[in-house]
Amino acid sequence: MVSIFPSYLAPLREALLGRAISRGLLELTVHDLRAWTHDVHQAVDDSPYGGGPGMVMRPQVWGDALDDVLAGPPARLVVPTPAGRPFTQALAREFSAEERLVFACGRYEGIDQRVLDDAARRVTVDEVSIGDYVLVGGEVAVLAIVEAVVRLLPGVLGNPRSAAEDSFSDGLLEGPAYTRPEVWRGLAVPDVLRSGNHALIDRWRRDRSLERTHRRRPDLLEALPADALDRADRAL
Ligand code: 6GU
């Protein structure tokens, strides 16, 4: 990844990701964009053509940085921006199958578009957004994207079913989860989960999942393929 705030990306070496790195499941290099600046002020931005507020990141600096970083093994270029297409679990799966990803973190009003147009002559460029709100820069988005991608790599999660069965893998939200004790502050765990009847438990979980998705994310239900719901689902 390339950023003017490399230390913002330090959390990538913590917890699950840190463990994946030390186990050799992935490699991660953070570059300081200012290493490619040309002037004593190490300027990375300039005012926008056409006027308007904010600053745009200059093409020369980014061009040289990406020439160097994209050299070597084939890579896909990911550019976090609120103007990107939505980053989804499906895209996380796609990214997790790539040999190498390069992240270009913009700040200010964005990177001169020609940097991405030029890079697209050589590699696949994805401008992606992590949601409908505006962050100050791409770094926090990169943390989210990398975490979503790395947990899908073989061997990273202790139990591969965690990735196979989590929210979105079937297009629905996960329902509620419970652990011991059976009653806590007067609130009981639903009886069915202690019944030992796994057909009944699966049905109950599926129903809670459908119910929650209907309430919180009706757009996800609309987007399901026609054959995704069976008769029991539709009866709910
Ligand atoms: Cl990917 N970047 C920035 N800067 N802001 C965002 C975003 C990305 N996604 C939502 N807001």
pLDDT digit string, tens, across residues 180-197: 999 999 999 999 999 999
What's the gap in Å between 154 CA and the centre of ligand 1? Answer: 28
ipTM passes above 0.85? yes
What's the gap in Å between 152 CA and the centre of ligand 1? Answer: 22
CATH number at residue 207: 1.10.1270.20
The residue out of 150, 178, 196 marking a domain boundary is 150
Residues with CB under 6 A from ligand 1: 80-82, 84, 128-131, 133-135, 137-138, 141
User: Helices marked H in the chain — which ranges?
Assistant: 15-22, 59-70, 89-96, 113-119, 139-150, 161-164, 198-216, 218-223, 231-235
Mutate to test the pocket of ligand 1, among 4, 57, 135 (most ligand atoms within 8 A of CB): 135
107 and 179 co-located in one domain: no
What's the gap in Å between 111 CA and the centre of ligand 1? Answer: 13
Ligand 1 atom, smallest distance to 128 CA? 1
At a CB cut-off of 8 Å and minimum separation 6, what does 100 contact? 73, 74, 75, 76
Encode the chain (236 residues) as per-residue pLDDT tens digits: 999 999 999 999 988 899 999 999 999 999 999 999 989 999 999 999 999 999 999 999 999 999 999 999 999 999 999 999 999 999 999 999 999 999 999 987 899 999 999 999 999 999 999 999 999 999 999 999 999 999 999 999 988 777 777 777 789 999 999 999 999 999 999 999 999 999 999 999 999 999 999 999 999 999 999 888 888 788 77
Percent of the chain with pLDDT over 90: 85
CATH number at residue 13: 3.40.1280.10
